[in-house]
């Protein structure tokens, strides 16, 4: 009897979903087609729509569909309509002519749980609240002046990374250490991030415990990120098929809520710690952390900058550097890992970068932030890496706030927009020899950098671009300046892509790291 009841309930829910997602959607599509041309679309199946076509990695599956259906086509992903754009022309139309229309982001149920009900900068609806958050982020937190003030902390963390790698190499046979780069890169990015948010270096032990200089706070944030990312991935099916979300079939909602409570307790401790430090030292202007800046705003407008708003802004900072959940940490670490993979497969480019470094910086000190503008080839390496391996290959999703037309095709209100930057960056029309690694192209073509869409376009463009590029330049430049690199077995590095919100390597990069003879004195004194 109970089994029959379950079957009957599931059958009812299935038929109800068909009505909502199939019949109702067909009616809308019929009305649209009677008025304007609809975008091309693959054949769909009931309820799932086109979900079965989204293989992994998703950007590759979307590129294959674009080859068949054109640079702009529509999909139905469960209960949501979507438009996929795979050309620079269509992307510019979306983010210039229709920028206001596509200034919103989809309000996925799982995302609402982790983003303070969609009130963080990357997730909130376009309007007065978003404009205020954007103003605070660009003027108070991520302006060129503030990024400049953060550079000493970032440089200190990069120096600590170089020190650890030098010590590991000095203790290894032949003074060459086998290094898993992703781990090292993630640690330095995360430590720099935490130092700029809350001055966590004050709680760091003097000794290099467990071969890491990460503060307890940075390690706690890493644990939180490791917990959040797979939960949000798992929640995507429930976001697109509400029937599953209603019943929390996979228990995702409960796990997310537990992780959110721990995250909020962690951020509140950081805020309370900064509040106590500010009372003791009174703040030091340019040396203030991000939370200190927000607490100073709280004094003048306490009803606006509550602790909850400060937590949301801090979490926004953790999520504006081009990745929705893992911040500048994953952005910098992943991009630097891809860059080193490319350089290991192109040793001539590595030698050219080292020669530029020796000429512009010398061998008597470490690279500094002020040196970066003079290192054109290093900037070319970074840009070419971001072209070939954009951190978020389909950008963060946008959503249309009103009906609009795209290339003469009708796009209804509430349609999710996915921009396949990976495909756009490899378009042979815009990029000659698109699969080749050629950092020189950014010196030869003055407009090449402006064609990169890694950080998005329009009103919702990443606010952390300056900080991300500055950090990446310091990290990658130091690795090139201080060490000679080789593959573990002398073979070429495999470039297989993994699966995730960002664009990770399928296999973490391991390489042999040996201090450069010309930098031994500098490294020995770190």
Q: What is the DSSP letter of 71?
A: S
- Which pair of structure tokens corresponds to residue 54? 């989204």
* Cβ count within 10 A of residue 194: 29
With 0-12 CB in 10 A as exposed, 13-18 as middle and 19+ as buried, what is 393? buried
Contacts of 397 (CB under 8 A, 6+ apart): 105, 106, 416, 417, 418
Class of domain 133-407+435-524: mainly alpha
Identify each DSSP E strand in 284-440 by its residue range. Answer: 398-399, 404-406, 409-411, 416-419
pLDDT at 526 (0 to 100): 87
Domain ranges for the chain, please list them. 133-407+435-524
Q: Give the span between the Cα atoms of 152 and 235, in whole angstroms.
A: 39
pLDDT at 328 (0 to 100): 47
**CB crowding 464-499: b at 16 or more within 10 Å, else e:** bbbbbbbbbbbbbbbbbbbbbbebeeeeebebebee
* Cβ count within 10 A of residue 165: 22
Q: Is-contact 79 241, C-beta < 8 A?
A: yes
pLDDT at 177 (0 to 100): 93
pLDDT at 18 (0 to 100): 46
Reported as type and span, the H/E element at residue 76 is strand 72-77
pLDDT at 30 (0 to 100): 44
pLDDT at 217 (0 to 100): 73
Q: Is 404 among the annotated ligand-binding positions?
A: no
Q: Is-contact 189 332, C-beta < 8 A?
A: yes
pLDDT at 72 (0 to 100): 97
Q: Which of 482, 226, 253, 464 is nearest to 358 (CA)?
A: 482
CA dihedral (224, 228, 231, 235) positive or negative: positive
pLDDT at 207 (0 to 100): 38
Tens digit of pLDDT at every position of the chain (526 positions): 444 444 344 444 454 454 444 444 444 444 444 456 889 999 999 988 999 998 888 999 999 999 999 999 999 998 899 999 999 999 999 999 999 999 999 988 888 888 888 888 888 889 998 898 888 888 888 888 888 888 888 899 899 999 999 999 999 998 999 999 888 888 887 777 777 888 776 444 443 444 555 667 777 777 776 676 666 654 466 677 776 666 666 677 888 888 888 888 888 998 998 888 877 776 554 457 888 889 988 999 898 889 988 888 887 766 554 333 344 456 778 899 999 999 999 999 999 999 999 999 999 999 999 999 999 999 999 999 999 999 889 988 999 999 999 999 999 999 999 999 999 999 999 999 999 999 999 998 888 998 999 989 999 888 888 888 999 999 999 999 999 999 998 889 999 998 777 788 999 999 999 999 999 999 999 8
- Which pair of structure tokens corresponds to residue 148? 């400049």
């Amino acid at each position: 009897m109970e089994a029959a009841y379950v079957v009957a309930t599931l059958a009812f829910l299935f038929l109800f979903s068909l009505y909502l997602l199939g019949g109702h959607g067909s009616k809308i599509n019929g009305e649209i087609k009677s008025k304007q041309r609809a975008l091309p679309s693959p054949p769909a199946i009931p309820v799932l729509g086109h979900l079965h076509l989204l293989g992994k990695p998703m950007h590759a599956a979307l590129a294959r569909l674009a080859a068949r259906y054109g640079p702009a086509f529509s999909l139905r992903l469960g209960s949501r309509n979507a438009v996929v754009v795979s050309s620079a022309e269509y992307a510019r139309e979306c983010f210039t002519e229709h920028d206001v229309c596509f200034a919103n982001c989809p309000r996925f149920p799982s995302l609402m749980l982790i983003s303070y009900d969609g009130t963080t900068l990357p997730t909130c609806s376009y309007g007065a609240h978003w404009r205020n958050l954007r103003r605070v982020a660009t003027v108070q937190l991520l302006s060129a002046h503030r990024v400049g003030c953060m550079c000493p902390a970032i440089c200190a963390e990069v120096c600590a990374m170089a020190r650890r790698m030098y010590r590991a190499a000095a203790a290894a046979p032949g003074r060459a250490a086998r290094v898993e780069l992703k781990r090292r890169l993630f640690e330095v990015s995360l430590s720099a991030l935490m130092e700029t948010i809350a001055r966590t270096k004050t709680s760091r032990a003097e000794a290099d415990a467990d071969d890491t200089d990460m503060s307890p706070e940075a390690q706690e944030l890493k644990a939180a990120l490791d917990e959040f990312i797979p939960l949000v991935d798992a929640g995507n099916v429930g976001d697109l098929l509400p029937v599953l979300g209603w019943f929390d079939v996979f228990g995702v909602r409960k796990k997310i809520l537990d992780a959110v409570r721990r995250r909020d307790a962690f951020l509140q401790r950081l805020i309370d710690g900064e509040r106590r430090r500010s009372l003791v030292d009174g703040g030091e202007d340019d040396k203030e952390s991000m939370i200190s800046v927000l607490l100073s705003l709280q004094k003048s407008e306490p009803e606006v900058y509550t602790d909850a708003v400060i937590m949301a802004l801090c979490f926004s900072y953790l999520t504006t550097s081009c990745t929705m959940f893992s911040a500048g940490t994953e952005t910098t670490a992943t991009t630097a890992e891809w860059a080193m993979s490319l350089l290991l497969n192109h040793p001539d480019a590595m030698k050219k970068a080292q020669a530029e470094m020796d000429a512009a910086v010398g061998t008597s000190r470490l690279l500094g932030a002020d040196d970066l503008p003079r290192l054109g080839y290093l900037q070319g390496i970074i840009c070419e890496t971001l072209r070939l391996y954009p951190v978020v290959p389909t950008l963060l999703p946008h959503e249309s706030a009103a009906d609009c037309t795209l290339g003469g095709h009708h796009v209804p209100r509430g349609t999710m927009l996915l921009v396949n930057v990976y495909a756009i960056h490899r378009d042979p029309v815009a990029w000659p020899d698109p699969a080749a690694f050629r950092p020189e192209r950014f010196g030869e073509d003055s407009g090449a950098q402006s064609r990169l869409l890694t950080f998005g376009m329009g009103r919702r463009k990443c606010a952390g671009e300056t900080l991300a590029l500055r950090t990446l330049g310091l990290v990658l430049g130091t690795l090139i300046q201080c060490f000679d690199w080789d593959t573990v077995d002398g073979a070429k590095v495999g470039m297989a892509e993994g699966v995730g919100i960002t664009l990770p390597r399928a296999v973490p990069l391991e390489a042999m790291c040996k201090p450069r003879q010309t930098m031994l004195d500098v490294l020995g004194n770190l």
